[in-house]
Chain A
Amino acid sequence: MSNSDNEFERRVKSALDSGYFEPGDATRRQLVLQRARAFERQPFFSRLFATPGWVPATAFAACAVFAVVLFLANAPRPAPEQLALQDSETALEVLFVDEEHEEIGDPDFYVWLDAMLLEDEDETDAS
């Protein structure tokens, strides 16, 4: 670095150190306030949210939850009419099965069943 460079730098430095580049009163007051704030003990949650990483992490988590909700919402489901039909069929079936159970418990039912089966066999033989 030449002498003229050094001289120029000295002049710039003395200019920068002069009052011209000092912050104004309002800014100086603000800086004093900020300095005081820097020494205050911060509560845990403020410190947590002050860490720069929480924003992307939260955004990522929110996106993941949204994707899962979207996936579940779009999963194939039977149409409502189909569901209603299925429900009514099931109800009828239950009613029907209840009657059958009563008959199965009655010994006369088996006598009747044998007779019916024999009749069916005879009919098929005859034909």
Chain B
Amino acid sequence: MGHDRENEQRLQRFLAGVEGRAFRIAQFATRNRDDALELVQEAMMKLVQNYAGRGDDELNALFHSILQSRLRDWQRRQSVRNRFRSWFTWDEDSDEGDALEQSPANSDCEPAFRLENDQFMHRLNHELGELPYRQQQVFLLRVWEGLDIAQTAAAMQCSESSVKTHHARALHKLQEQLEEYR
């Protein structure tokens, strides 16, 4: 009983730390706030129900594997739906609207630097959203989540060489698009 409680607290801490990033990763993939929330919820439930006993070092990779699997299912469902509803334009939820407005003002920075930084974030947000699905997800898992190549390959269900290729392509594309901010 006490062991269960410890496990629950451990998972609570882990999920509290990862849920925000997981939501953004799902939102980049789906471009829809509600779908992203639903997918994160499913991943959380699956992790709690089936993998509560796993060690701390495994949890992050496991959670992202589950989330990626949910995202792939979502993509498949979406492509089938789109085939039937190609005339329907999806109303893309912009979550809390313009994320630029939410960025906390950093009073220590010079206004010009802050403006450039905000512009960089805004463009980065846009360009990440524009990347092809696999490149985008590999890049986010490697750079943001810090998964290694093997963990990313397992989560994305592809080979390690594919991970390297997707990562390199995403990096190249982002560098190209954000050249002016370098």
Number of B interface residues in the complex (CB < 8 A): 39
Q: Is the CB of B144 within 8 A of A38?
A: no
A37 to B45, CA, bound (A): 8
Please indicate the chain A residues that have their CB under 8 angstroms from the CB of B182 in the complex.
Answer: 4, 8
Within 8 Å of chain A (Cβ to Cβ): is B19?
yes
Interface of B is mostly: helix
Please indicate the chain B residues that have their CB under 8 angstroms from the CB of A20 in the complex.
Answer: 99-100, 102-103, 118, 121, 125
Within 8 Å of chain A (Cβ to Cβ): is B174?
yes
Within 8 Å of chain A (Cβ to Cβ): is B154?
no
Instruction: Bits for B14-52, please: 1 = Cβ < 8 Å to A, else 0.
Output: 011001110110000000010001001100110110000
Instruction: Bits for A7-32, please: 1 = Cβ < 8 Å to B, else 0.
Output: 01101110111111111111110111
Interface size range of chain A in the complex? 20 to 34
Instruction: Return B74 CB to nearest CB of chain A, in Å.
Output: 12
Given the interface pairs A8-B182, A39-B8, the reply to whether A26 lies near B104 with Cβ below 8 Å is: no
Please indicate the chain B residues that have their CB under 8 angstroms from the CB of A5 in the complex.
Answer: 171, 175
Q: Is the CB of A19 within 8 A of B8?
A: no
Within 8 Å of chain A (Cβ to Cβ): is B12?
yes
A28 to B124, CA, bound (A): 22
Q: Is the CB of B44 within 8 A of A35?
A: yes
Within 8 Å of chain A (Cβ to Cβ): is B96?
yes
A21 to B79, CA, bound (A): 27
Residues of chain A touching chain B, judged by Cβ–Cβ distance below 8 Å, are 4-5, 8-9, 11-13, 15-28, 30-32, 34-35, 37-39, 50, 52
In the assembled complex, 21 residue pairs joining A and B whose CB atoms fall closer than 8 Å, in A order, are A4-B182, A8-B174, A8-B175, A8-B178, A12-B174, A13-B143, A15-B120, A15-B124, A16-B140, A16-B144, A20-B100, A21-B21, A23-B95, A25-B96, A27-B95, A27-B96, A28-B20, A34-B41, A37-B41, A38-B41, A39-B48
Residues of chain B touching chain A, judged by Cβ–Cβ distance below 8 Å, are 8, 11-12, 15-16, 19-21, 23-24, 33, 37, 40-41, 44-45, 47-48, 73, 95-96, 99-100, 102-104, 118, 120-121, 124-125, 140, 143-144, 171, 174-175, 178, 182
